[in-house]
Structure 1
Amino acid sequence: MSVEFKQDFSAEYGIPEQMTKRVTRVLCNNPSPFTYTGTGTYLVGAENNLAVIDPGPFDTEHGEAILKAAGDRPITHIFVTHSHIDHSPLSAWLSEKTEAPIYAFGPHGTGRAGGLQEEEVEAGADKEFMPDHTITDSDTFSGTDWTLKAIHTPGHTANHMCFLLKEEKLMFVGDHVMGWATTVIAPPDGDVRKYIESLKKIAEEDVEKLIPTHGPWVENPKPFIRGIVTHRKMREGQILKCLEDGASTIDILVARMYKDVDKRLHPAAARSVFGHIIALVDEGRISCEGPPRLSSIYSLAG
């Protein structure tokens, strides 16, 4: 099956939305081709103490909206799914205001093995991010009426974490799964093969809905995830076919594969194609001179 994305999402900026008994969303006014309508910060808990997931970019107006949504309920935990500038920078400000510690897998690049040249690093990284507490796969955190299980899901970034709200069978998936578009896998921190492994990992959890940081929720996780895996395989098939037809650079591949996509997204698409190419080179299906780079010339192996 192919994945069906929804692009009918709407919400008011800065106005708290009660999504479930324990989940409130506050949308940040930072729309873009990469963030869709903006960063959705989530407050978890209905009583006494709250957890905040993905405070967002450094936008103090959004920070004040989060504090207003919390009201007289103290924020005791701040969780960050990963270190990109639309997810993590406000966490330090919010921690200072609330005295709540920040929890995440680690700073940007944590868990990445080996590497490409620094010139290949993606522009959206929050290199200043530093959590108060590093967390690992299956760590569990509790409040008065909530329990969050941390699930390490490398792929979009090496330090990406998802959080399962056990009481409601909801999973906060950051950018690992998005309901409105495919996730960008940008080397060197992104890894396509690990991304696929992580998708299968979250599909094994007892989850009824996925909650991305951007855009609409995913109502039927298992078939949606199967659709994403199918879509990724289709993209790799396109790459191989384009190379067979004479394309040799990532620019040419993107122009052919994404001809109907907003050209503002082509740089991100180039990085996603690059991620697939690295995996195909590692598997001996594509070749190039020297290590794979965005500027390399590629051909089918053999």
Structure 2
Amino acid sequence: MADDIPFERDDDAVPGRVETLSPLIRRVLCPNPGPFTFKGTVTYIVGHGRVAIVDPGPDNAAHVAAVLEAVMGETVEAILVTHTHRDHSPATPAVKAATGATVYAEGPHRAARPLNLGETNALDASGDKDFIPDVALADGAVVSGPGWTLEGVFTPGHCANHMAFALREENSLLSGDHVMAWSTSIVAPPDGSMGDYMASLEKLRARSEAIFWPGHGGAVHEPQRFMRALAHHRLQREASIMRRIGAGDRAIPAIVAAIYEGLDPRLTGAAGLSVFAHLEDLVGRGLVTTDGPPALDGLFRPA
């Protein structure tokens, strides 16, 4: 369980309704709720008159229509995508066709590492492999309009091409799925990497933004405190996995059953992938051993 994290799950967003969050930020919630999306994917509109849209969302006609209605009479100068999971980027072509805006992102969808022999990507269907940005953003690159400046902050881990966007004028961060108030982020190899995730978390902890606006759910208040809890939770999970391996558990299903009490059955697969992410990182650091490359169905032992 993640009881050590001060989650905030009270969010009164209504799908399709435009909500003003701050002087420069509005949001539109997509009606795609679920165990991995909470109440749905959030699309953000930054600025007024000449605006940016961040994360157009899934291929959902009603949501695209709501977003376009929200910016009616305005010029969309930029479409920015935090990452290419299918709940965030597939609506991009429709929004681009309607607005003519330039699309910015870190890059196309890719795995965090090459697949090992015989390995398949358990999250393969979740990746939007058709997505190609008009402009690939490097870490620290800036996209700006009248009254707003968005800085790309490369934050791989949840996804290899994940990029958050810092809104300089409001000292806030559009954090995508890397940091969310309602839940921990899924980190599942080979789509994601636990080592990358933890490094990206430390990178954000070194920054000064005062509030995060995530891709699902409401704002992350006191983000430094929240991220400290996230990091602590991951380290606790790592320690639990090490204890189970030390006690004789060798396979991921046995470890999941031991350390995830009261888990929603719909999340069992995600929990297994999360444990795999930790084990892959532990093998890379020489703390755990396995035969050959780490595998979801592999057997793990103390190093």
The normalised TM-score by structure 1 is 0.96
Q: Corresponding residue for 2:229?
A: 227
Q: Corresponding residue for 1:84?
A: 85
- Report the alpha carbon displacement of residue 25 of structure 1 after superposing the two structures with TM: 0.6
Q: Distance in 2 between matches of 1:256 and 1:207?
A: 37
CA contact (8 A) 1:116 1:188 kept: no
| Unaligned ranges ≥5, structure 2 | none
SS in 1 for 2:220: coil
Partner AA of 1:210 in structure 2? F
Partner AA of 1:37 in structure 2? K
2:259 equivalent to 1:282? no
SS in 2 for 1:128: coil
- Report the alpha carbon displacement of residue 290 of structure 1 after superposing the two structures with TM: 1.4
The normalised TM-score by structure 2 is 0.95
Q: Corresponding residue for 2:193?
A: 191
SS in 2 for 1:76: strand
CA contact (8 A) 2:187 2:274 kept: yes
Q: Corresponding residue for 1:74?
A: 75
Question: CA RMSD, aligned part only?
Answer: 1.4
Where has structure 1 moved over 6 Å in runs of 4 or more?
A: none
Number of aligned residues: 299
SS in 2 for 1:167: helix
Q: Distance in 2 between matches of 1:76 and 1:252?
A: 51
CA contact (8 A) 2:52 2:80 kept: yes
Partner AA of 1:59 in structure 2? N
CA contact (8 A) 1:56 1:86 kept: yes
Matches within 5 A, 1:152-163: 152-163=154-165
Q: Corresponding residue for 1:166?
A: 168
- Report the alpha carbon displacement of residue 300 of structure 1 after superposing the two structures with TM: 1.3
Partner AA of 1:238 in structure 2? S
Per-residue CA deviation, residues 156-201 of structure 1 (Å, 9 max, x unaligned), is: 1110000000011110010000111111111112111111111111
Q: Corresponding residue for 1:241?
A: 243
- Report the alpha carbon displacement of residue 152 of structure 1 after superposing the two structures with TM: 0.5
- Report the alpha carbon displacement of residue 260 of structure 1 after superposing the two structures with TM: 1.3
2:55 equivalent to 1:54? yes
Q: Distance in 2 between matches of 1:75 and 1:184?
A: 31
1:202 to 191, 196, 204: 204
Partner AA of 1:79 in structure 2? L
Matches within 5 A, 1:119-198: 119-122=120-123, 123-198=125-200
Q: Corresponding residue for 2:116?
A: 116
Q: Corresponding residue for 1:7?
A: 9
- Report the alpha carbon displacement of residue 256 of structure 1 after superposing the two structures with TM: 1.6
Identical residues among aligned pairs (%): 40
- Report the alpha carbon displacement of residue 252 of structure 1 after superposing the two structures with TM: 1.1
- Report the alpha carbon displacement of residue 297 of structure 1 after superposing the two structures with TM: 1.1
CA contact (8 A) 1:10 1:37 kept: no
CA contact (8 A) 1:154 1:198 kept: yes
Q: Distance in 2 between matches of 1:161 and 1:96?
A: 23
- Report the alpha carbon displacement of residue 53 of structure 1 after superposing the two structures with TM: 0.5
Q: Distance in 1 between matches of 2:206 and 2:100?
A: 35
Q: Corresponding residue for 2:99?
A: 98
- Report the alpha carbon displacement of residue 203 of structure 1 after superposing the two structures with TM: 1.8
2:292 equivalent to 1:269? no
| Unaligned ranges ≥5, structure 1 | none
Q: Distance in 1 between matches of 2:164 and 2:10?
A: 24
